[in-house]
Homo-oligomer: A and B are copies of this chain.
Amino acid sequence: MRVDELDTPVPVIDLDRVEHNLAKMQAYCDLHGLKLRPHIKTHKLPAFARRQLELGAVGITCQKIGEARVMAEAGCADILLTYPVVGATKVAPLAEVAARTRLTVALDNAVALETVARAAHLAGTEIGVLVEFDSGDGRCGVQSADEALELARRAHGNGPLAFRGFMTYPHGPRTAPFLAAARPLFEAAGIPVETVSIGGTPGCWDAHLVEGATELRVGTYIYHDRATVGAGVAAPEDCALHVHATVVSRPTATRAVIDAGSKTLSSDRVAAAVGEGYGHILEYPDAVITRLNEEHGVVDLSDCDTRPAIGERIRILPNHVCVVSNLHDAVVVGRNGTVVDTWPVAARGCTR
């Protein structure tokens, strides 16, 4: 079957473009002596995680324990969880993953450290710890090298915990100053820093410029999207996932309605400099998806020379591909416009 005969809306992934994107990132990391640890939150597919490992990734990155469980069951033997797991309810699930795989958890506080320590005890196995630092993003992360040292001291030599280094996301302007401040402190304390893990697709091609970084975590690079193209790190022809949709109504001369709304594309926007609306329609680049309801996309055709008819199929480059993957129970994978298979998105909805 041709991909353009599929029922819509449907996310369709081009396997050749995926392979190109994976190989290019691995080659970049190899060239610069960086370890690559892909973030699977973008695809949530065991088959692609295994392919990333085959191509040379040292392990994978997951955001939630549920994702890690799916990937450990799929055979991923080295997992970094870049999320502070906190509280009693997390101990048993984390221990379960730790028993199956070499696990490292990034964290920025003592409560998370205690949670991880309890899981390690329960599993009877070592769990690695990276201390997350805030390099300018203003999300998680310790604010100073002193705070990092205090946490590292609690992890270093603490029973089954193993302090392994630092993590930040995305690597921002305070990465180098933090590392410069931390090095002498950690040296003086006799705590080795094995790993400095940085991440984020928008800054991926500058990763080799971050002095001291040992590892790159990237997720979106597998598919790319309107945001990463807009950030200048990918070309439109690198984009591997498009949502195929159908024009279901043309109420006025300048308005179309498509069968892809926020339950298909998400409500994520892109920076104003990148573009307007909720996705880029390949066939009508001057059209703007001005509004999404749950199942409707409202398209302004005012600036289009030609305009689609009811029943016409279009392809949409999503603003943010990671949240699109997560909305769909399954994705279609294809090659040269032909359907190869349909894959369940195995780690979809793993928010815990």
Contact = CB atoms under 8 A, between A and B. Distances in A.
Interface string A104-145: 000011011000000000000000000000100011111100
Interface string A178-222: 000000000000000000000000000000000000000000000
Interface string A341-352: 000000011011
- By size class, the interface of chain A is 35 or more
A75 B64 CA distance: 37
Interface in A234-283: 246-252, 255, 257, 259-260, 262-264, 266-269
Contact of A294 (B291, B295, B296, B323): B323
A35 interface: no
A279 to B, nearest CB: 13
Given A87-B311, A138-B298, A294-B323, A108 B143 contact: no
Contact of A266 (B111, B142, B266): B266
A326 B111 contact: no
B351 A295 contact: yes
Contacts of A84: 248-249, 257
Given A64-B295, A86-B248, A260-B351, 14 more contacts: A8-B87, A8-B89, A9-B352, A86-B259, A87-B246, A108-B251, A109-B250, A140-B296, A266-B267, A267-B323, A295-B351, A327-B327, A327-B349, A328-B351
Interface of A: 5-10, 41, 63-64, 83-87, 89-90, 93, 108-109, 111-112, 134, 138-143, 246-252, 255, 257, 259-260, 262-264, 266-269, 291, 293-296, 298, 310-311, 322-323, 326-329, 348-349, 351-352
